[in-house]
Amino acid sequence: MSSISLRARHVSKSFTSGPIHNTVLHDLTLDIRAGELTLISGPSGCGKSTLLAILSGLQRPDSGQVTALEQDLGELNLHALERFRLLHTGFVFQGFNLFPALNALEQVELPLSYLGLAPGEARRRAVASLEEVGLGPRMGLRPSELSGGEKQRVAIARALAKEPGLLFADEPTSALDAANGQIIIDILHRIARTHGTTVLCVSHDPRLVGHADRVLAMEDGRILSDRVPSPASTPTSGLEEPSA
Amino acid sequence: MVALARKTLVYEWRRFLPAILAVGFAGLLQLLQAALVLGIFGSASVYITGSSADLWAGYPGTQSVNLGRSIDSGVEMRLRMDPAVSAVEPFHWVDADWRGPSDTGGVSVFVSGINARPDGLLFAHALSPALRARLNEPDAVIVDRADLDSLGVGIGDTAVINGHRVRVVGVSNGLRALGGVNVVASLATAAELDTDPSNANRMTYFVAKLRDPSDADDVAARLRGNRAFGPYDVWTAESFARRSQMYWMFDTGAGAGVLFLAGVVFLVGAVITSQTLVAAVIGSVREYATLNALGVGVGALRKVVMEQAFWVGAIGLLGSTVLGGLALALARSRSVPVALSLWTTLACLGLCMGLAIVSGLAAMRSLRRADPATLLR
């Protein structure tokens, strides 16, 4: 069994809006393993996105402790947290959030240039990760010239090129059709396997359940079940372009 | 390094166009306004700046060259006695009433009585020796080309000044006056035109040329304060010219108007520019938030916004410089008084770059909305 890279201990989070006090996460304890695609699924409003934000260091819990790659995130100030994210975490969001002015290669190179990599090395890594998501021939195109699935693959390449230990994906397939969603989840799965990356994916999309190594079902700020889906439903196919 | 700011500016130029236009027109307005003000009020001191004299002696406290009062003719001797002075010349100023041959009504004119010799100091830069020589004819006057219409004359025509017949023998360029019309005559002609009996044996100004112009401050200090010839004061040409311009600029309220207008232009430009930049930041706020999630610091994102503001300013100012140059060339060809020094130009352009930078700082505030946690929902 692979090592535990992400650890949450007694994490609670609540939001107050006027007189209404809403507890989103109830004393949650959780371990996520490296080299696996872990899927957190549940209905909207169950707190899964908040959990992702806290595990990835984008938000702080009200109480409890989060340890990522042996680093207690609660000990880091804002600047150190940014630095930690720069070095160790990648993100893929539901919206692709690509700069309209940049082509695919530049989108991927952009965060790399802040890592302090030499331009040649940044270029090499950007090309490699675009090729890994199957966009090698289309890396000169701008977002307006790419399909939704291709845009999400650029977003994945952008996160992957940093060679992060942790990769977080929030509803990465919900804006895509079935075929493209399939491709995206396969890529994420492959990244976990081949790079040993901890891939944590949050989704309410039931199609993804069969592709995950581990599925955590969440409801009302609590984890209801923690299971390994049956291997029969795990896809064997690699990366294939939809014919559409 | 991916040039995010510049690539976005080029790709989404329509989004940034209002800001570029706002900076550009603000720059153009400031430049033209400064050029016009300096040109118009610069003509208040054309008597001084168009002459080669280093020192001016006149009535104490004279605030502008057109407000001179007569001083004792003996001051000329006082100036000549100083070893640093190489030449002294009288300048006879007469406020007069002009009646032209055509129906122009009464026109208020300023008659400048000058030494018409080729080596004369007064209007040495403004009148050619040939033109000066024509003033030696009796009752000859020179007027500015731009004033021919308002005086209702052409070259060779006669007119009446203070009841005395004069003849226009030539036209000058760049001798337009503020609040009236300049007429240049010889000292003898000017004396004929001066109808004030109290001005007998008195002169409005004496101007002096120094052997070494760099001594002007010291010599002026040495020459003033001698009461033997009645009240008079001595100024360097530079300080008297500046005083005359400042008098017109501020005592007439025009200076305050200019500053007010500059403030309005700055404010309007800054509002449009900052709103445009804010809209551009908000349009890309999810992308910025994604970069921040990936660990790109807020400081680096601010730099992108400021770089965009800088380029908006630079492109806008390039446009205003080109358009301003064309407008000034057009103004010069139409005898509109415009003047612009390098420093004034830089000040105007600097002000507008400041406008762009202030707008960038305002737009930077909206980066606060680029919170990556808001992307998770």
pLDDT tens-place string over residues B71-109: 999 899 989 999 999 999 999 999 999 988 877 788 899
The listed range with the strongest mean pLDDT (A52-61, A234-243, B223-232, B257-266) is A52-61
Q: Give B75's Cβ-side CA count (13 Å radius).
A: 31
Task: Kindly state whether residues B33 and B147 are assigned to the same domain.
Answer: no
Whether residue B213 lies inside any domain: the answer is no
Whether residue A23 lies inside any domain: the answer is no
ipTM above 0.85, yes or no: yes
Residue numbers of chain B with a pLDDT score lower than 70: 377
User: In the A/B pair of chains, how many CB contacts fall below 8 A?
Assistant: 94
B12 vs chain A: nearest CA distance in angstroms? 7
Q: Where among B176, B204, B232 does a domain terminate?
A: B204
Is the pLDDT at A206 greater than 70, yes or no? yes
Whether residue A150 lies inside any domain: the answer is yes
Is the pLDDT at A239 greater than 50, yes or no? no
Domain count, chain A: 1
In this structure, the number of other CB atoms found within 10 A of the CB of residue A132 comes to 20
Q: What pLDDT was estimated at residue A233? A: 47
Whether residue B188 lies inside any domain: the answer is yes
Whether residue A96 lies inside any domain: the answer is yes
Crossing angle of the two packed helices A148-160 and A178-195, in degrees rounded to 10? 10
Whether residue A30 lies inside any domain: the answer is no
Domain count, chain B: 2
Q: What is the mean pLDDT of chain A?
A: 89
Q: What pLDDT was estimated at residue B8? A: 93
Helix (H) or strand (E) holding A226: strand A222-227
Interface test with B, best of A58, A98, A105, A162 (most B CBs within 10 A): A58
Q: Please provide the distance, in angstroms rounded to a whole number, between the alpha carbons at the two ends of chain B.
A: 31
Whether residue B115 lies inside any domain: the answer is yes
Q: Where among B175, B204, B233 does a domain terminate?
A: B204
Give the C-alpha distances (Å, rounded to integers) separating B38 from B127, B319, B348, B349, B352: 22, 22, 13, 16, 19
Do A52 and B376 make contact, defined as CB atoms within 8 angstroms? yes
Distance CA B204, CA B47 (A): 13
Distance CA B171, CA B59 (A): 30
Whether residue A29 lies inside any domain: the answer is no
Distance CA A38, CA A201 (A): 6
Judge contact between A73 and A5, C-beta under 8 A: no
Judge contact between B290 and A91, C-beta under 8 A: yes
Can you read off the two tokens belonging to residue A10? 């007694």
* B30 CB within 8 Å of a chain A CB: no
Give CA B371 to chain center in angstroms: 51
**What range defines the domain where residue A54 resides?**
4-12+35-233
For residue range B301-313, list pLDDT tens digits in order.
Answer: 999 999 999 999 9
Chain B hits for A91, CB-CB cut-off 8 Å, are 290, 293-294, 372, 375
If you count DSSP H runs as helices and E runs as strands, how many of each does chain A have, helices first? Answer: 6, 10
Do A53 and B4 make contact, defined as CB atoms within 8 angstroms? no
Whether residue A28 lies inside any domain: the answer is no
Whether residue B194 lies inside any domain: the answer is yes
CATH code of residue A203: 3.40.50.300
Give the C-alpha distances (Å, rounded to integers) separating B245 from A178, B17, B114: 78, 39, 22
Do B373 and A58 make contact, defined as CB atoms within 8 angstroms? yes
Is the pLDDT at A125 greater than 70, yes or no? yes
Distance CA B51, CA B45 (A): 10
**What range defines the domain where residue B303 resides?**
4-43+253-375
For chain B, the helix, strand and coil percentages under 3-state DSSP, each to the nearest 5: 55, 20, 25
Q: Which of A95, A142, A162 sits opposite B294 (nearest CB)?
A: A162
Whether residue B190 lies inside any domain: the answer is yes
* B15 CB within 8 Å of a chain A CB: no
Q: What pLDDT was estimated at residue A2? A: 67
